[in-house]
Amino acid sequence: MDLVSTPESSAPRRRARVVVVGAGPAGLTVANILRAASVDCVVLETESREFIEQRPRAGFIEEWAVRALQQRGLADRLLEGAQTQGECEFRWAGERHRFAYGELSGHRHFVYPQPLLVTDLVRAYADRAGGDIRFGVRDVELHGIDTDRPSVSYTDPRTGERIRIDCDAIAGCDGARGVTRTYLGYLGTERATVARHDYGIGWLALLAEAPPSSDCVVFGLHPRGFAAHMARSPQVTRYYLECPPGDDPENWSHERVWAELHARLTVAGAPPLTEGRLIEKRVLDMHNYVVEPMSHGRLYLAGDAAHLAAPIAAKGMNLALHDALLLGDALVAYCGEGEGEGAVEGEGDDSALTGYSEACLPRVWQYQEFSQWLSELLHGPSSGDPFKAGTAAARLRRILGSPAAAAAFAELYIGKGADN
Ligand code: FAD
């Protein structure tokens, strides 16, 4: 990255082709793609490296996403270590119903905790490829996104100095609580609309230091509330319990959590739940949103910055990877491969960047629709509304009884053919 003169300000100004805001799965994937093509980029992240490499969240990656990471040399450890799963189980009205979506779709999930993926992507970008990443930055601001020369400024955590980076494009990958989205959707401008859906439901998200109690994802449909079981590793299991939105996690003692999990997930013939210490306990108010279009001027949003999918169908990280793969390639086409001798720092082909939002949104909406559909199925029995309970039961019977409905469900659940 070059230093350039700073005529109008004493703040140090620097230049890079692309500034990536946020080092989650989306930002790190974009950065790795740029780095592999020798496009000069800087990643800005508010948290520390240790923090992002340990932040627990997702765990199920769809096969198409794994293959795309593999093609770019970003999935070595994932492919070595991840277990694959192609079945889920619905527990409903005291019975178990296995559903073999892997057989039906030909695709499987890879069980790989998000912190491991983030660790792999940071190593590939920063340690192996020598990419520029700045942790702990504060007060990130964007400037001139409507112009050909936008910039990003931030406060350096060590010196307190304000730094400004001029660039050609900004990748807004700073998640649901970041700042980049506000430059598109929340300024009362007509740059973008934000479509939002609130489920009116809370989920108590739990991580237990306990081995999985089933060889697959378990969805417990129960009048007391929905519950779920998902493997994370041989030692750690994620559980969810439906609860009132805004509930205080402190209302959920160890004893209450396990009593409720047993009550909602136990059916005849199922292996008993293995209990363990709860190492994460937080309440998620389930909601989704989509920012449309996902770009404006030289700012391109990817991942949770652009759209949130409550973890009902395990779609968020997969969508973040989908955006990032498209955005990384589009930025490479625009910036041109390579730097240094022979490289032309000019404008390349911007057609993929122009079409970026349009290319992402079909899958975004397919996943949103599927999450909403699945939510109605999973929460119907506990809704207290006999009509919702009846339609939820009809949905479940349909996917368990109709081969055509089962095949359609399997493809959506694993994200196959969702780009239309
Ligand atoms: P993030 O991972 O949120 O990364 C954004 C980064 O930007 C963060 O590192 C943040 O610190 C940083 N940042 C924030 N603000 C700024 C700023 N102003 N400047 C610079 N950096 C900033 N998805 C699935 O696909 N499968 C699952 O099984 C699944 N389970 C989940 C379980 C839970 C409990 C939760 C909460 C989510 C789950 N998800 C799941 C969703 C998934 O975790 C997210 O969709 C995914 O993290 C999105 O990646 P991202 O890179 O867009 O955003």
Q: How confident is the model at residue 185 (pLDDT cuts 50, 70, 90)?
A: low
Mean of the per-residue pLDDT values for the chain? 93
Three-state SS letters, 269-284: CCCCCCCCEEEEEEEE
- Residue 408: inside a domain: yes
Q: Quick check: 125 and 28 in contact, CB under 8 A?
A: yes
Q: Give residue 188's pLDDT.
A: 54
Structure tokens belonging to residue 345: 């720092």
Q: 333 C-alpha to center of ligand 1: Å?
A: 26
Q: 395 C-alpha to center of ligand 1: Å?
A: 30
Give the N- to C-terminal CA distance of the chain in Å, as an integer: 39
- Give me the phi and psi of 81, to 5 degrees please: -105, -20
Across residues 177-195, what is the average pLDDT? 80
- Residue 265: inside a domain: yes
**Percentage, residues of the chain above pLDDT 90:** 88
Read off the DSSP letter of residue 158: T
Does 44 contact ligand 1 (Cβ within 6 A)? yes
| Co-location of 146 and 215 in the same domain | no
pLDDT score of 39 more than 70: yes
| Co-location of 184 and 319 in the same domain | yes
Across residues 80-108, what is the average pLDDT? 96
Beta bridge partners of 88: 99, 217
Q: Give residue 344's pLDDT.
A: 47
Q: Give residue 419's pLDDT.
A: 83
| Co-location of 300 and 252 in the same domain | no
Helices (H), 22-149: 25-36, 49-52, 63-71, 76-81, 101-105, 114-122
Does 225 contact ligand 1 (Cβ within 6 A)? no
| Co-location of 180 and 124 in the same domain | yes
| Co-location of 217 and 72 in the same domain | no
pLDDT score of 343 more than 90: no
The CATH number of the domain holding residue 180 is: 3.50.50.60
Q: 355 C-alpha to center of ligand 1: Å?
A: 24
| Co-location of 334 and 362 in the same domain | yes
pLDDT score of 341 more than 50: no
The upper half-sphere exposure of residue 10, i.e. CA atoms within 13 Å in the direction of its Cβ, equals 1
| Co-location of 121 and 268 in the same domain | no
The CATH number of the domain holding residue 270 is: 3.30.9.10
Alpha carbon of 368 to those of 58, 219, 316, 350: distances in Å?
A: 17, 19, 10, 28
As separate numbers, helices (DSSP H) first and strands (DSSP E) second, the chain gives 13, 22
Question: Residue length, the chain?
Answer: 420
Name which residue sits closest to atom 33 of ligand 1, judged by CA: 57
Alpha carbon of 194 to those of 267, 292, 293, 294, 365: distances in Å?
A: 41, 6, 9, 10, 13
Across residues 194-200, what is the average pLDDT? 94
Q: 175 C-alpha to center of ligand 1: Å?
A: 5
| Co-location of 172 and 205 in the same domain | no
pLDDT score of 314 more than 90: yes
Nearest to residue 21, comparing CAs of 176, 146, 178? 178
Q: Give residue 416's pLDDT.
A: 92
Q: Give residue 10's pLDDT.
A: 60
Q: Give residue 6's pLDDT.
A: 39
Residue 159 neighbours by CB distance under 10 Å? 9
Q: Give residue 184's pLDDT.
A: 84
Q: 234 C-alpha to center of ligand 1: Å?
A: 23
- Residue 155: inside a domain: yes
Q: Quick check: 175 and 320 in contact, CB under 8 A?
A: no
Does 238 contact ligand 1 (Cβ within 6 A)? no
Q: 24 C-alpha to center of ligand 1: Å?
A: 6
Helix (H, G, I), strand (E, B) or coil at 359: helix
- Residue 143: inside a domain: yes
Q: 261 C-alpha to center of ligand 1: Å?
A: 26
Name which residue sits closest to atom 31 of ligand 1, judged by CA: 58
Beta bridge partners of 134: 44
DSSP assignments along 39-53, one per residue? --EEEE-SS-HHHHT
Q: Quick check: 406 and 399 in contact, CB under 8 A?
A: yes
Domain that holds residue 207: 198-286+383-414
| Co-location of 30 and 153 in the same domain | yes
Residue 293, preceding peptide bond in cis (omega within 30° of 0): yes
pLDDT score of 334 more than 70: yes
Ligand 1: which of 179, 317, 413, 414 to mutate, most ligand atoms within 8 Å of CB? 317
Instruction: For residues 21 and 301, give the distance between their C-alpha atoms in angstroms, rounded to a whole number.
Output: 10
Q: 304 C-alpha to center of ligand 1: Å?
A: 6
| Co-location of 130 and 59 in the same domain | yes
Does 142 contact ligand 1 (Cβ within 6 A)? no
- Residue 99: inside a domain: no
| Co-location of 335 and 207 in the same domain | no
pLDDT score of 105 more than 70: yes
- Residue 133: inside a domain: yes
For residue 356, what are the contacts with CB-CB under 8 A and spacing of at least 6? 294, 295, 300, 326, 327, 330
Does 212 contact ligand 1 (Cβ within 6 A)? no
- Residue 4: inside a domain: no
pLDDT score of 5 more than 60: no
Q: 65 C-alpha to center of ligand 1: Å?
A: 16
Report the relative pairing of strands 299-301 and 295-296 from DSSP bridges.
antiparallel
Instruction: For residues 195 and 201, give the distance between their C-alpha atoms in angstroms, rounded to a whole number.
Output: 18
| Co-location of 267 and 387 in the same domain | yes
Q: How confident is the model at residue 165 (pLDDT cuts 50, 70, 90)?
A: very high
- Residue 185: inside a domain: yes
Q: Give residue 247's pLDDT.
A: 97
Structure tokens belonging to residue 343: 């490289």
Instruction: For residues 176 and 198, give the distance between their C-alpha atoms in angstroms, rounded to a whole number.
Output: 15
Whether the CA torsion 340, 346, 350, 354 is positive or negative: it is positive
Across residues 133-147, what is the average pLDDT? 96
Helix (H, G, I), strand (E, B) or coil at 241: strand
Across residues 313-339, what is the average pLDDT? 92
**For the chain, the helix, strand and coil percentages under 3-state DSSP, each to the nearest 5:** 35, 25, 35
Per-residue model confidence as pLDDT tens digits over 222-242? 999 999 999 999 999 999 999
Q: Give the position, in ligand 1's atom list, of the atom nearest the Cα of 180.
A: 18
Maximum Cα interatomic distance, the chain, rounded to a whole number of Å: 75
Name which residue sits closest to atom 37 of ligand 1, judged by CA: 57
Q: Quick check: 396 and 221 in contact, CB under 8 A?
A: yes
Helices (H), 302-384: 316-335, 351-354, 356-379
Does 294 contact ligand 1 (Cβ within 6 A)? no
Domain count along the chain: 2
pLDDT score of 3 more than 80: no
Does 178 contact ligand 1 (Cβ within 6 A)? yes
Nearest to residue 97, comparing CAs of 419, 409, 411? 409
